């Protein structure tokens, strides 16, 4: 493995960006002194809440008996819909999700109310004593059932380019197929938690483990019937999120705030892991049907594709998730004549939500499956077929949603990885192995990624920041982004340090706080650094320009000739330390703080036709994965991984390497071991680590090579960097395709390999014996 340590080491004279600085919280986290919401010292009089959950997937809620719960020791109140002074539904785009179940329950685990007590365990024990009278109704539990019943949270969407029917008619070959891909539990190390403190004059301070403090602020105010300015939300850090705390952290904040409002006492609500599983949404499971036409060389001439997302009982973010799946159904390939139907299915399960990749993985996997099927049908190397269908440089370079691919590096990137991973020789060696190994079969696949960077909702592509320079020369930065372990604050501090020409150690980022930067977008869509880093850079630049103007007036020089670097400020005539300059400027009454604002340029998008330029740029990558399967048990093992990934000019290469490693392994979990199982009554049977299996250290192969593509972003992004949070996740599709390659070898050359995901041992066996 190429360890991040190879990037470590710097001198004070080097710029902060481009160096592998440790994560700004690393030492505190190792020492156990980094503060998460549940670590915040509690105010005297704090109470604790626990949720009351439906045990029925769909039914009429006819009564709630709280008598036994209220008689329990330490219980102070039961909070129900009648205790909501504002709107009884969350202010989502579709306004379809109640704060507490009212007349109807719509999934097992839906929150009907909360119990508030003196201790956590008092609250949890009492919550289980609340008796719900529910009259069961028929439940829709699968995508197929939802399609048959026309049960949707949002209307279907259709995107067409060219003439798919004509493309199929002229094709030399045609295939039809189906595929199902499961969801994924976020499994953040820090569970969902909120702590609500009532203040004077109907104000509230909310500590929330959230990716979107601004939305939490809005939701709490909406539920309490207050203006947004009465609610402040703070988040210093999260212990992981992966999209699961983009909207659904708001639920806990609202529930705890309602209790705090009624009792006028601080209230904390932290879900235990089982309840977290049962209440919160997952990655959207998808089902697919396709008909594809292609020529003798594997070039796609026509494609009809149906994507059906299991959205759960409410829309949440299912609309934009399903849209992004449509946008990424091409992945890296030009589709000349294509017709895509996208269905957003309503089922009686948890309301599924954002998850790393945000629909992109669900779009990409089906086109990779199609290309793998084409290759096996024709008896060709799958990589050969993939390369024939890639976007071109000067032609075949417009997506099915009418965006021109201007920054295409797919061809040289794939060629380089094909060589460095020794793909051809390994494929021949694997064929030799399989010819002589009757039980253990191996497979290999090299798959690319082309992932669009920006929120598809254009108005979210904005950010603000504050930069304060103190009289001792130290700098404090506050921005609208949130730190969830991904290193956003570290990168922002590096950017500000370089903009001011000072050492990285002199810059500190503080907690996300709605009273400092208002209306901030969620930290999501891999755009945290692109947006907040740029806003902080602009704020720092204004401070620097004021200081340059101050020096130019004193020394009668051009302010453009004042240089800030290495903790020194130099003009044509003199040089002084940064600290001395700040002291002089303060005494001369120069403003030493500023705000910065950034909005992403060039993007536009028609949500009705799903056309335009929704993305500022694309991030690219490719992975070559080798696997082995046991044909007797269906067990599989990941043997080797080689990755070449495009991060532009890295701001912090060690952090970027960590994101690539972590994203890839999380993607491997989605496609191999992380199976969500709902039983016939809608009960999530895999609701704990005992039954839900995320990858462990033993699942990481010894051969795990990662290299970075050596080219800056071709768009004007901060310091030439590219987003890195989500794109590496989709590189794991190479593992799933390698498993299908091994299964095809075991089946003796039979063309079709139907292997749903995750490819558990049972799924692999079914694929082998189909």
Residues marked active site are found at 726
The two tokens of residue 507 are 């810059």
Q: What tokens appear for 241 in the block?
A: 């999120």
CA 147/CA 261 separation, integer angstroms? 42
Instruction: Report whether 326 contacts 315 (CB < 8 A).
Output: no
Bridge partners of residue 704, in order along the sequence: 641
Helix (H) or strand (E) holding 63: strand 59-65
Question: Could you tell me how far CA 361 lies from the centroid of its own chain?
Answer: 11
List residues bridging with 644 in a β-sheet.
622, 707
Of 318, 344, 324, 312, give the one whose Cα is nearest residue 157. 344
Buried b (16+ CB within 10 A) or exposed e, 424-443: eebbeebeeebeeeeebbbb
CB atoms within 10 A of CB 486: 26
Helix (H) or strand (E) holding 385: helix 382-388
Q: Is 379 buried (19+), middle (13-18) or exposed (0-12) by CB count in 10 A?
A: exposed
Cα–Cα nearest to 579, from 637, 500, 512, 640: 500
In this structure, what are the phi and psi dihedrals at residue 384, rounded to the nearest 5 degrees? Answer: -60, -45
- Closest by CA to 348, choosing from 47, 141, 510, 156, is 141
CA 170, CA 166: separation in Å to the nearest integer?
Answer: 6
Q: Are 254 and 223 in contact (CB under 8 A)?
A: yes
Cα separation, 597 vs 535, in Å, equals: 5
Phi/psi for 210 (5° steps) reads -140, 145
Residue 417 parent element (H or E): helix 410-420
Pairing of strands 231-235, 636-645: unpaired
In 3D space, the residue among 20, 18, 15 whose CA is nearest the CA of residue 712 turns out to be 18
Cα–Cα distance measured from residue 322 to residue 306, given in angstroms and rounded to the nearest whole number = 12
The Cα–Cα gap between 51 and 128 comes to 9
Contact by Cβ (8 Å): 498, 567: no
Nearest C-alpha neighbor of 362 from the set 527, 574, 143 = 143
CA dihedral 219, 220, 222, 223 (to 10 degrees): 110
CB atoms closer than 10 angstroms to residue 749: 9
Tokens for 684? 């999530």
DSSP letter, residue 532: I
């Amino acid at each position: 493995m190429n360890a991040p340590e190879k990037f470590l080491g710097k001198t004070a004279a080097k710029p902060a960006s481009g160096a592998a600085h440790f994560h700004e919280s690393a030492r505190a986290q190792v020492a156990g002194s980094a503060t998460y919401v549940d670590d915040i010292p509690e105010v005297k009089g704090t109470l604790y809440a626990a949720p009351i959950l439906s045990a029925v997937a769909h039914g009429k809620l006819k009564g709630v008996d709280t008598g036994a719960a209220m008689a329990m020791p330490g219980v102070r109140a039961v909070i129900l819909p009648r205790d909501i002074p504002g709107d009884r539904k969350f202010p989502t785009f579709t306004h379809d999700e109640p704060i507490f179940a009212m007349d109807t329950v719509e999934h097992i685990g839906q929150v009907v109310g909360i119990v508030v007590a003196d201790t956590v365990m008092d609250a949890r024990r009492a919550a289980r004593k609340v008796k719900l009278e529910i009259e069961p109704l028929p439940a829709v539990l699968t995508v197929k059932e939802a399609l048959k019943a026309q049960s949707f949270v949002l209307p279907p969407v259709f995107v067409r380019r060219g003439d798919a029917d004509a493309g199929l008619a002229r094709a030399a070959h045609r295939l039809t197929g189906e595929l199902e891909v499961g969801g994924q539990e976020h499994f953040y190390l820090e569970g969902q938690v909120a702590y609500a403190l009532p203040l004077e004059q109907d104000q509230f301070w909310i500590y929330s483990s959230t990716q979107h403090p601004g939305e939490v602020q809005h939701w709490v105010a909406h539920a309490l019937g207050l203006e947004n300015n009465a609610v402040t939300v703070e988040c210093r850090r999260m212990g992981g999120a992966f999209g699961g705390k983009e909207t659904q952290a708001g639920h806990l904040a609202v529930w705890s705030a309602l209790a705090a409002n009624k009792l006028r006492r601080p209230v904390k609500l932290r879900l235990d892991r089982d309840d977290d599983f049962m209440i919160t949404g997952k990655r959207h499971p998808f089902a697919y049907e396709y008909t594809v036409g292609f020529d003798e060389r594997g070039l796609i001439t026509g494609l009809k594709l149906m994507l059906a997302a299991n959205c759960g009982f409410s829309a949440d973010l299912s609309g934009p998730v399903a849209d992004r799946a449509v946008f990424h159904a091409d992945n890296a390939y030009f589709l000349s004549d294509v017709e895509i139907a996208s269905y957003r299915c309503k089922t009686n399960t948890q309301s599924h939500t954002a998850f790393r990749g945000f629909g992109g993985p669900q779009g990409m996997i089906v086109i990779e499956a199609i290309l793998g099927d084409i290759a096996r049908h024709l008896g060709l190397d799958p990589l050969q077929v993939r390369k024939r269908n890639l976007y071109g440089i000067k032609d075949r370079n417009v997506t099915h949603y009418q965006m021109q691919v201007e920054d295409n590096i797919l061809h040289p990137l794939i060629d380089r990885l094909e060589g460095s991973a020794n793909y051809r020789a390994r494929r021949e060696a694997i064929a030799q192995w399989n010819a002589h190994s009757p039980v253990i079969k191996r497979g290999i696949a090299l798959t690319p990624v082309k992932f669009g960077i920006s929120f598809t909702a254009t108005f979210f592509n904005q950010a603000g920041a504050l930069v304060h320079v103190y009289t001792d020369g130290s700098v404090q930065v506050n921005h609208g982004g949130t730190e969830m372990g991904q290193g956003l604050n570290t990168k922002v501090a590096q950017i500000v340090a370089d903009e001011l020409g000072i050492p990285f150690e002199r810059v500190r980022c503080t907690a996300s706080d709605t009273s400092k930067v208002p209306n901030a977008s969620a930290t999501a869509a891999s755009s945290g650094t692109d947006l907040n880093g740029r806003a902080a850079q602009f704020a720092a630049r204004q401070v620097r320009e004021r200081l340059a103007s101050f020096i130019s007036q004193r020394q009668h020089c051009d302010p453009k000739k004042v240089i800030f670097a290495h903790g020194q400020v130099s003009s044509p005539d003199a040089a002084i330390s940064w600290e001395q300059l700040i002291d002089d400027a303060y005494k001369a009454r120069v403003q030493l703080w500023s705000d910065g604002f950034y909005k992403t340029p060039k993007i536009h998008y028609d949500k009705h036709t799903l056309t335009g330029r929704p993305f500022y740029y694309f991030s690219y990558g490719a992975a070559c994965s080798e696997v082995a399967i046991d044909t007797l048990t269906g067990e599989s093992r990941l043997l080797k991984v080689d990755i070449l990934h495009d991060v532009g000019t890295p701001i912090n290469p060690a952090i970027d390497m960590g994101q690539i490693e972590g994203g890839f392994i999380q993607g491997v979990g989605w496609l191999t071991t992380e199976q969500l199982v709902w039983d016939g009554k809608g009960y999530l049977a895999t609701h704990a680590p005992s039954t839900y299996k995320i990858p462990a250290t033993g699942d990481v192969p010894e051969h795990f090579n990662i290299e970075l593509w050596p080219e800056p972003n071709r768009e004007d992004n901060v310091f030439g960097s590219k987003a890195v949070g989500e794109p590496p996740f989709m590189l794991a599709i190479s593992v799933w395709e390698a498993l299908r390659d091994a299964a095809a070898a075991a089946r003796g050359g039979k063309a079709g390999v139907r292997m749903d995901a995750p490819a558990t041992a049972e799924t692999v066996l079914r694929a082998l014996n189909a």
